[in-house]
Amino acid sequence: MTGTRVVCAGDQFISGALLASRVSGAIDGVTTVRTDSRWPSEPFDDGDGVREAAGDPGELAALVAGADALVTHLAPVTAEVLEAGKGTLRVVGVTRGGPVNVDLAAATRAGVPVVHLPGRNLGAVAEYCVGTMICAMRGLPVAAAELAAGRWDGTGFRFDRVGLELRAATVGLVGLGAVGLRVAELLAAFGAHVLAHDPYAAPEEAARVGARLVTLDELLAGSDVVSLHARLTAETRRIIDAAALAAMRPGALLVNTARGELVDPAALDAALASGHLRGAVLDVFDPEPPAPGDPLPARPQVFATPHLAGASRQVAEESAARIATEVAAVLRGRRPAHCANPEALPTA
């Protein structure tokens, strides 16, 4: 495909240089144009029909004019950008599970397929979940903070304060998609008993990873750890509310790496303040970043991180390689593995 021109719009996680190197390896004779936003040093933004985007649409539009493809992680692929590529742009590749930084309606109107990578960071997120479960159940974040403050708290060895090992724990997974399945696989290696609630889960997949499908009520009442892996929908918004938290075992742990909107934050704060829950691991919030004065990140029982569960070198490197393969497939007239608007794919 000599003469093919691909714009590689990266950032400080998946750089334009990394995208360009993988595109050059997947497409012979390609010419790449690179640009980078300053995310995550500067936050992403919403607007012009896109969400969680980083970069200047006007600058991107100037680069896309005359290009055959655009490959990006977070660049704002707005209607303006797609219009600039009119007549030449044949595919947009996004190294994310959900291409929310693309105006899909505008892309479909322009006849430009948008390929993406569902489950691209499932390994990183699953390892984060299991690692932080272990830390939080054993009280390690609080102990580390105490020691950093100059206090040696030997009472962490008291029987009434020590936590469970995973091999003795029942872990409930709310959502058994790609990430939930991988978490279940890792938990099985530790010997944990795994429950799962997901109305759309295939029973054979649950059985494969050793998870027993149950109702949400059964899961909440029967789990030492409840870990959230559900998509955000009208049905799942605030699925963990005051009633759900009250139904959890006293001393249980809540882990949320999915979406902040799945949890009622005021109800969670109350459950932690009362001592009903042992603690919480929160990598996502509503809103993000947390509002000034949000009490949850400051609570000693909360292991809070700024949406980092999916951050690893493997995610960056493998995502760049996979999206280059997907974009190359479309340019060669083949069907990609994952297209957000398949109606825009060529029919011939």
- From CA 203, how far away is CA 229, in angstroms rounded? 17
Is 14:36 a contact under the CB 8 Å cutoff?
Answer: no
The answer to whether the beta carbons of residues 320 and 95 sit under 8 Å apart is yes
| 105: Cα within 13 Å, side-chain hemisphere | 3
Q: What is the DSSP track for 173-188? A: EE--SHHHHHHHHHHH
Joined tokens for residue 268? 């969670």
Angle at 338 between CA 346 and CA 123, to 5 degrees: 165
Known catalytic residue at 259: yes
Q: Kindly name the residue from 146, 218, 288, 317 that is annotated as catalytic.
A: 288
In terms of Cα–Cα distance, which of 265, 290, 317, 327 is closest to 13? 317
Cβ neighbours of 151 (radius 10 Å): 9
- Does 261 qualify as catalytic in the annotation? no
Question: Of these residues, 259, 278, 322, 338, which one is catalytic?
Answer: 259
Instruction: State how far the Cα of 70 lies from the Cα of 136, in Å rounded to an integer.
Output: 42
Close Cβ partners of 47 (under 8 Å, ≥ 6 residues apart): 53, 76
Residue tagged 């660049």 (tokens): 75
Start-to-end CA distance of the chain, whole Å, equals 19
Three-class secondary structure of residue 107 per DSSP: helix
Give the span between the Cα atoms of 108 and 227, in whole angstroms. 36
The Cα–Cα gap between 148 and 193 comes to 34
Of residues 237, 238, 307, 318, which has the active-site annotation? Answer: 307
Measured between alpha carbons, how far is 310 from 131 in angstroms, rounded to an integer? 13
Catalytic residue numbers, as ranges: 259, 288, 307
